[in-house]
Structure 1
Amino acid sequence: MINKIRNIKWRQVGYFFLSIAAIVGVGMLMSLVTKKDQVQVCSALKVMVQGKETFIDQKDITGMIQEKFGRVVGRTLNEVPLHKIETELKKSPYVSEADVHIDMDGVMQVKVQQREVVLRVINQNGQEYYVDSKSQKIPVTLKYVPHVMVANGFIREGYKKALEPVQSKQVKELVQVVEETKSDELWSNQIVQLYVNSDYDIEIVPRVGEQQLIIGSADSLQYKLDRLAKFYTHILPKVGTDAYSKVNVKYGGQIICERKGEWFIDSLQMKINKGI
């Protein structure tokens, strides 16, 4: 008998009883939570809207919840459909993330993250839409106009519905130009607008000077921007801001300037090509 007792694996027995106690404890806790949800009411609604844009505000979110689900304050916790509210908020084209929960004091906490837009597109038919940081289309609203780059001209892609992804290479390249230049000290100050001309080449509309800055496509974009930067540092100080009507870096190894309808590569350009 003593040998049998000695052979019992007491550690495993201990683990077994601890597991049983844990299961019982969790069950009791869940029972208490369920009873609390049946008794405690939602005491308040607190909304936090995050993001640099202001497409929507706290009043908008509160209105969306009340319109779809009615008044939540004063209802018992098990009557408040938290998951459905969260799902509904995420349907808004201006919301990227939403988190809805009720804290220990019965306060319904709603946290919403707004979408960040990077470009406003006005296509060749006058149709407008925004493109966000995930290359999805966001509808234009009169309530708020974000301070982002505008692209217009012979842009073919239009807008059908909210959050549809950008399809055309043309608009994707416009977004690429914005992303490439927004953190650059020179171009973030110098670029006012992007324009797609009748040849479907991308042009930069500058803040200083009236010349057309033609980059063509976004292929080898950084190389083209570097050559335009050399134009600003080497040529423009010598000839003045209004000397040229067009500056074209579409073609590799060249900065082609047009003045009075004539195309030429001036002597300064030849020096730039040699690495100055």
Structure 2
Amino acid sequence: MTAMFGRLGWAVADTWTITRRDLTHWVNQPAQIVIGLLFPVMIVLMFGYLFGGAVALPGGGDYREFLMPGMFAMTMLFGIETTFAAVAGDAAKGVTDRFRSMPMSGSAVVAGRSVADLLNSVLGLAVMVICGLAVGWRFHEGAGRALAAFGLLLLLRLAMLWVGIWLGLVVGRPEMLTAMQILVWPLAFVSNTFVPPETMPAWLAAVAEWNPLSATVAAVRDLFGNPGPAAASFAAEHAIALALAWPLVLIAVFAPLATRRYRDLNR
């Protein structure tokens, strides 16, 4: 028992060391953080003010209140690119190999990256909330339901970062980020983020409704009390359950894959 707690304490200490290393890297390169925070703000301004007037919500309501929950979730999704670039960059520079040569817990590197990226995502979400409040977004269902919505958003980010860690370790080449973006952007746009699925062709609407991103967006709209499409399908009616299930499934699959991939590098 003592040995088990000793190994656990060792793993936690190593994880925190890697977390601090990753956070220090961001502090030393603030421009990267600022650009990452400003990009979703630009998307909000573009869609909220340039295109929003052309979008009529089937049930009525303010488009920017409809948009902001989608933008919160999309920001969590796009964090996968940051995770992928950082992990692949460390692998390409040999940093990952140096970590593996040290007497440290085998899961600490990937766990430390996940903690650091999740903390960064909290900052990104806070910036988006401030942006939303500035453009007129509000939550209407009380602080408890709002906190539950933010919890679902961070759960989605946790799932996406494990996918990003695994892909970064598998690919190991930061120049493949463009290919990652080609995969991520359709996931963001074929969803209920910007328009209700019922405005799409039937086959595309079905794809959009079962998109994991759509589940989180629909769930947080409901929890915030923001306007959204009427629940006319199983996915829409059970959005909160799916917003929990999709990320948990992704974590259950990709967290072990990422840890195993790290341990098996160069074998």
Report the TM-score range of the alignment, normalised by the length of the smaller protein: under 0.3
User: Normalising by structure 1, what TM-score?
Assistant: 0.19
The structure with the greater share of residues assigned to helix is 2
Greater RCO, CA 8 A, separation 6+: 2
User: Normalising by structure 2, what TM-score?
Assistant: 0.20
Which structure has the larger Rg over C-alpha atoms?
Answer: 1
The structure with the greater share of residues assigned to strand is 1
